[in-house]
């Protein structure tokens, strides 16, 4: 049995930023997620790739206790995304999306994945997310991500997924689009009323906002001098977040706060290079050092009035 299961995409990306360009590099929500989460726990992936995909390119994940038996190789081409960023690295401009094998994907959760204690539904069609939920036992934490494309095209199905999960990990624009609320507090509270116990909002360089039924928590982004490519940063955050929760084996308010800091740390490494390159060569001492440094950024004393 694995501890953490992710369902999402494994893809090839072509990316251009003001600081460089990378063509046909490894990407996809499940791959960025797993690249980060595998530092903390064993991970199983449910995804599909085409017969043009080089599995050897991700073989390094086996050394981190990643089970890739849930990746189906289908006839056709692998999902591809092409995007561009200006100097506002919070906003990606999609130039081309080729769904390819994703169009006919029907996720099959291997039997030895179905008792996973933690499940992350990465960015895929909400109908596929529901199909994954129906194949697993009740995990300790069932967590959802999505994107504007599904909010606009599969809203009703997405709302069905939201009602069945414990937490949402989404970005600021997605929260506003789902809830029709500009204010984050109002929007998060509206989603909590649907059933989830916790909403984690990714805000890019502005950090993270978390709200549950009892309190609000805010975390800053790690201050960086050089940012090269933000592609996959949100999925990397989710991987650090869920990997840490799976490592400690519980999702209490305090462990969720710690997981947010760990997710923030992992995302800060991701943006320092293109594709999965920075996380691929990362070491645990680097992770621990940056976690402590980010924690220090948040310390302040009591006022004396």
What is the structure's pLDDT at 236?
97
- The rounded mean pLDDT for the chain is 94
Instruction: Dump pLDDT digits (tens) for 142-152.
Output: 999 998 889 99
Closest C-alpha to 77, from 97, 58, 52? 52
Name which of 18-27, 83-92, 221-230 the model is least confident about.
Answer: 83-92
In a domain, 305, yes or no: no
Q: Model confidence at 202, in pLDDT bands (50, 70, 90)?
A: very high
Give the residue, 281 or 87, on which the prediction is more confident: 281
First to last CA, the chain: 55
Domain coverage including residue 259: 4-297
What is the structure's pLDDT at 265?
97
Query: Is residue 91 pLDDT above 80, yes or no?
Result: no
**Measured distance CA(121)–CA(142) in Å, rounded:** 8
In a domain, 303, yes or no: no
**Measured distance CA(29)–CA(198) in Å, rounded:** 21
Q: For the residues 125-154, what does the mean pLDDT come to?
A: 94
In a domain, 192, yes or no: yes
Global pTM? 0.95
Name which of 12-26, 86-100, 281-295 the model is least confident about.
Answer: 86-100
Q: What is the CATH number of the domain that holds 160?
A: 3.40.1190.20
Distance from CA of residue 115 to its chain's centroid? 21
Helix, strand, coil % in the chain, rounded to nearest 5: 40, 25, 35
- What total number of domains does the chain contain? 1
What is the structure's pLDDT at 301?
87
In a domain, 304, yes or no: no
Instruction: Dump pLDDT digits (tens) for 102-119.
Output: 999 999 999 999 999 999
**Measured distance CA(48)–CA(37) in Å, rounded:** 19
Element (H, E) at 299: none
**Measured distance CA(72)–CA(105) in Å, rounded:** 9
In a domain, 302, yes or no: no
In a domain, 74, yes or no: yes
In a domain, 161, yes or no: yes
């Amino acid at each position: 049995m694995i501890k953490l299961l992710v369902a999402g995409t494994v893809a090839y990306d072509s990316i251009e930023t003001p600081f460089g360009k990378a063509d046909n590099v490894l990407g996809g929500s499940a791959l960025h997620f797993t690249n980060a989460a595998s530092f903390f726990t064993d991970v199983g992936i449910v995804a599909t790739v085409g017969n043009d995909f080089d599995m050897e390119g991700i073989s390094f994940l086996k050394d981190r206790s990643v089970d890739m038996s849930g990746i189906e190789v289908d006839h056709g081409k692998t999902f591809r995304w092409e995007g561009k960023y200006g100097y506002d690295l919070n906003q990606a401009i999609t130039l081309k999306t080729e769904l390819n094998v994703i169009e006919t994907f029907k996720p099959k959760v291997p039997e030895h994945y179905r008792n996973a204690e933690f499940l992350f539904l990465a960015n895929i069609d909400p109908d596929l997310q529901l199909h994954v939920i129906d194949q697993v036992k009740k995990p300790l934490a069932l967590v959802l991500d999505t994107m504007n494309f599904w909010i606009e095209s599969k809203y009703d199905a997405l709302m069905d997924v939201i009602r069945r999960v414990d937490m949402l990990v989404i970005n600021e624009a997605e929260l506003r689009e789902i809830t029709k609320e500009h204010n984050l507090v109002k929007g998060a509270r509206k989603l909590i009323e649907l059933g989830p116990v916790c909403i984690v909002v990714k805000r890019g360089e502005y950090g993270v906002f978390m709200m549950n039924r009892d309190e609000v928590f805010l975390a800053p982004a790690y201050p960086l001098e050089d940012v090269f490519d933000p592609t996959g940063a949100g999925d990397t955050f989710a991987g650090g977040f869920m990997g840490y929760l799976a490592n400690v084996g519980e999702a209490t308010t305090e462990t969720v706060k710690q997981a947010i800091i760990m997710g923030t740390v992992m995302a800060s490494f991701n943006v320092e290079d293109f594709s999965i390159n920075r996380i691929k060569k990362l070491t645990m001492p680097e992770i621990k050092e940056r976690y402590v440094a980010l924690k220090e950024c948040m310390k302040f004393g009591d006022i004396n009035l």
